[in-house]
Amino acid sequence: MSPSLILKEHPFEGVLVLRLNRPEVLNALNLELRHALAQAFTAADQDPSVHVVVLCGSEKAFCAGADLNEYVDASPVEIIERRMDRLWQAISSCSKPVIAAVCGYALGGGFELAMHADIIIASENAKLGQPEVQIGIMPGGGATQRLTRAVGKFQAMKWLLTGALFKAQEAFQMGLVSEVLAADQVEARALQMAQELSAGPQLAIQSIKKVVIEGMSLPLEQGLDYERKAFQLLFATEDKVEGMRARLDKRPPQFKNR
């Protein structure tokens, strides 16, 4: 039996760790792994016991990008028939917070995978980038859009057009990663953050994620209106009462996620 392409761990209540497991090719994304990721995220999104997903690879490589063995002889029709958009959408549509713990290489599709997360914790030794142009293609997993929205046109064009790699500290300065830590601290920090989020009010947390993601594609006034409606709806939750009572009583809240 072949080893699982994704290792699943439950280190804390409400926290699911998805670990890419193709170490022999630096966790490169072949079609089988892409399907496994889509299935894992779909299942996590539907599982009420999962509050937060932590996505990671190894210390040597988060994900080195697409497996070129599946691309070198592929025709446009074959690429279309693979319906990559559906596989990526299973990750981007996850309603739970996703934290990417990025060590080592995160290149091409691997970096696009990290950009599907909501929070990126990167190691000091991480090497990031979109080098597709150097092999005669372009990003196809969202980098031309997500990278540009994250850092602006002029920074994005520099990395997309040259395919040059950049370090985690440069990414942090551009606002592209959330934190930069020593490699041996990255996963521990991601798990700590995941545990904190898992203990929080899930209805509010998921509402925040939804409003932020949806609002990025809306004009400002529509985004603000969307925010107001989501804010108002949270006043119908028991967690709102519990959170405010706990703050007034100077005690830790006991959220019930309802």
Q: What is the pLDDT of residues 157-204, one digit of tens each?
A: 999 999 999 999 999 999 999 999 999 999 999 999 999 999 999 999
Task: Enumerate the CATH 3.90.226.10 domain ranges in the chain, comma separated.
Answer: 6-198
Architecture of domain 202-249: Orthogonal Bundle (1.10)
Please identify which of the residues 40, 61, 66, 190 carries the catalytic annotation: 66
Question: d(Cα 255, Cα 51) in Å, to the nearest integer?
Answer: 13
Question: What confidence score (pLDDT) does residue 64 get?
Answer: 94
Please identify which of the residues 112, 117, 122, 126 carries the catalytic annotation: 112
**Model confidence at 84, in pLDDT bands (50, 70, 90)?**
confident
Question: What confidence score (pLDDT) does residue 229 get?
Answer: 96
Task: Enumerate the CATH 1.10.12.10 domain ranges in the chain, comma separated.
Answer: 202-249
Instruction: Give the 3-state secondary structure of residue 102.
Output: strand
Please identify which of the residues 65, 132, 204, 243 carries the catalytic annotation: 132
Kindly report which listed range (1-5, 47-51, 215-219, 232-236) carries the lowest average pLDDT score.
1-5
Based on the residue annotation, tell me whether 109 is a catalytic residue of this protein: yes
Based on the residue annotation, tell me whether 141 is a catalytic residue of this protein: no
Please identify which of the residues 109, 142, 200, 243 carries the catalytic annotation: 109
Based on the residue annotation, tell me whether 168 is a catalytic residue of this protein: no
Question: What confidence score (pLDDT) does residue 74 get?
Answer: 83
Which residue intervals of the chain are DSSP H helices? Answer: 31-46, 76-81, 84-92, 109-115, 143-151, 153-162, 168-173, 183-198, 202-215, 220-233, 238-249
Greater model confidence, 95 or 69: 95
Question: What confidence score (pLDDT) does residue 2 get?
Answer: 53
Give burial (CB, 10 Å; 0-12/13-18/19+) of 107: buried
Question: What confidence score (pLDDT) does residue 1 get?
Answer: 39
Predicted confidence (pLDDT) per residue in 90-125, tens digit = 999 999 999 999 999 999 999 999 999 999 999 999
CATH superfamily of 6-198: 2-enoyl-CoA Hydratase; Chain A, domain 1 (3.90.226.10)
Based on the residue annotation, tell me whether 199 is a catalytic residue of this protein: no
Spatial neighbors of 109 by CB under 8 A, at least 6 apart, are 29, 63, 65, 66, 140, 141
